[in-house]
Amino acid sequence: MADVWQSAMDHAVAVARKAGEIVRGALKDERTVMTKSCAVDLVTQTDQKVEQLIIQSAKEKFPTHRFIGEESVAAGESCILSDDPTWIIDPIDGTTNFVHAFPFVAVSIGFSINKQVEFGVVYSCLEDKMFTARRGKGAFCNGEALQVSEQADIHQAIVATEFGSSRDPAAMDHIFRSLRNILCLPVHGVRGAGTAAINMCLVASGCVEAYYEIGIHVWDVAAGSLIVSEAGGVLMDVEGGDMDLMSRRIVAANNTTIAERIVKEIVSFTLQRDDAPLQS
Ligand SMILES: O=P(O)(O)OC[C@@]1(O)O[C@H](CO)[C@@H](O)[C@@H]1O
Ligand SMILES: [Mg+2]
Ligand SMILES: [Mg+2]
């Protein structure tokens, strides 16, 4: 039977590469920075331009598909994951990095069917690394197969996380308590690239054992989640159990032992889900 989703994946790879060129080009110019939910939730015209490019080009080829894009949602579009083929787009994951020319910036495109990610594409555009995964067919970086780390001892692990853009004191308190618990296990180190998508690709590449965060959105992690699982890793909610793409919480790890150990140390909290009804 013909592989019906391969042409969508090929298109995602091609348009992510084109988007990366735009991002690299924009780094040479002055960047006009705007804010969204708060003073440190940044967006630029390049985020908006890249999202338009990805959505318009995919719509032309696949007119029946649906789209969830970070900047479209910011502009008021709904964020509902249905069973339909859906492109889940973060045009620039790591906008703060992009604004400061900190060299980890990704274009992230996930594609779901029946609410399951079928393929994921993360283009780390300043490193020129194209991460791809297709359900059941493995994960790759620039065509080379990826494999998570074999480490099962948390004390020998590097763990990635981020602080997010909320500065809500209660949330910060939970975030710092989790961080302290994990650092003091002790682990070898805690790192953060400034982008969920690249943190997840680091797990898939075997460079870090785990990544966790509360505060991510579906567009940050849709593509990366499949890249991690196809590289042999596991996904979990921060309280254990199945990861829910719309819940804004994730643990991605090389194996269940490491994931469950991290879950024990996370002081969890809940945020409004990505698919919560829009407030009028
Ligand atoms: O706004 P962007 O640049 O697309 O998202 C980047 C980011 O802030 O979103 C996630 C949630 O906090 C973090 O992992 C990551 O640092
Ligand atoms: Mg993002
Ligand atoms: Mg973004």
Structural domain of 114: 6-145
Q: Flag whether the ipTM exceeds 0.90.
A: yes
CATH code of residue 248: 3.40.190.80
Q: Is the pTM of this model over 0.95?
A: yes
Distance (Å, whole) CA 54 – CA 110: 12
Q: Which residue has the tokens 């990610």?
A: 117
Other residues' Cβ atoms within 10 Å of the Cβ of residue 158 = 18
Last residue within a domain, chosen from 98, 118, 145: 145
Per-residue buried b or exposed e for 40-65, using 16+ beta carbons within 10 Å of the residue's own CB:
eebbbebbbbbbebbbebbeeebeeb
Would you call 168 a catalytic residue per the annotation? no
Of the chain, the percentage scoring pLDDT greater than 70 comes to 99
Q: Give the chain's mean pLDDT.
A: 97
Last residue within a domain, chosen from 145, 179, 202: 145
Q: What is the pLDDT of residue 111?
A: 98
Q: Is 95 in the pocket of ligand 1 (CB under 6 A)?
A: yes
**pLDDT tens-digit map of 96-129:** 999 999 999 999 999 999 999 999 999 999 999 9
Task: Report, as ranges of residue numbers, the positions in the chain whose pLDDT lies below 70.
Answer: 1, 279-280
**pLDDT tens-digit map of 181-204:** 999 999 999 999 999 999 999 999
Q: Is 83 annotated in some ligand binding site?
A: no
CA of 226 to the centre of ligand 3 (A): 18
Pocket test for ligand 1, best of 46, 162, 212 (most atoms within 8 A of CB): 162
Radius of gyration of the chain (CA): 18
Distance (Å, whole) CA 71 – CA 165: 16
Other residues' Cβ atoms within 10 Å of the Cβ of residue 211 = 31
Categorise residue 208: left if φ over 0, alpha if ψ from -120 to 50, beta otherwise.
Answer: beta
Q: What is the pLDDT of residue 280?
A: 58
CA of 72 to the centre of ligand 3 (A): 11
CATH code of residue 38: 3.30.540.10
Q: Is 86 in the pocket of ligand 1 (CB under 6 A)?
A: no
Q: Is 92 annotated in some ligand binding site?
A: yes
